[in-house]
Structure formats: structure tokens, C-alpha cells
Amino acid sequence: MPISYCKMVELVINLPDVKLTKKLLKELREDIDRTVRLRMAREMLLSEWDRRFSDSCLSEDDTMDMGRQVNKQALSVWKEKGWL
């Protein structure tokens, strides 16, 4: 299912009666903005992966095994480079 895009969406967050300084309010806005952008990027990426791999003939077990192999190879490369 493709994600529909909007130019702008407004989210309203209700907080209990708490006094917020301008600095804290600014930081909260930045944190919320960053979190929402990361979540949207994740959703768009997962949607694209679903579209690309929908016709795959690999089973879930096959893909898990391949993923484990890739992880092991990446780990050995990182160790060789001294990153771990």
C-alpha cells in the first residue's frame, strides 16, 4: 500500500499543566520533529521494501539465514579493520 504524501500535517500534543521554559519548549519541538521524521522515513522504507520484495520466491527462513550470514561476514570485516 503506497504512502500518501501531504504537504503539511499538524500534530497537537497535550501536556499536563507544566511550566515550560522557552528553551525546553524549543528542545521538545526539535525532539518531536526528529522523532516523527525518523518514523516516517522508516515507514516509507518498509513500504518500499514490501513493494520490491513482494514477488520474491524466498521463504522467511531463507531470508533469515541469509541475514545471519551477512551479519557474520560484516562482523569479521569490522574485526579485521579494528572497529570491534
Do 32 and 12 touch, CB atoms closer than 8 A? no
Residue with cell 522515513: 41
Q: Over the stretch 28-83, which tens digit does the pLDDT of each residue have?
A: 999 999 999 999 999 999 999 999 988 989 998 999 999 999 999 999 999 999 99
CA distances from 32 to 16, 26, 65, 67, 84 (A): 17, 10, 36, 32, 33
Say if residue 1's pLDDT is above 60.
Answer: no
Say if residue 13's pLDDT is above 80.
Answer: yes
Q: How far apart are CA 66 and CA 64, in angstroms?
A: 5
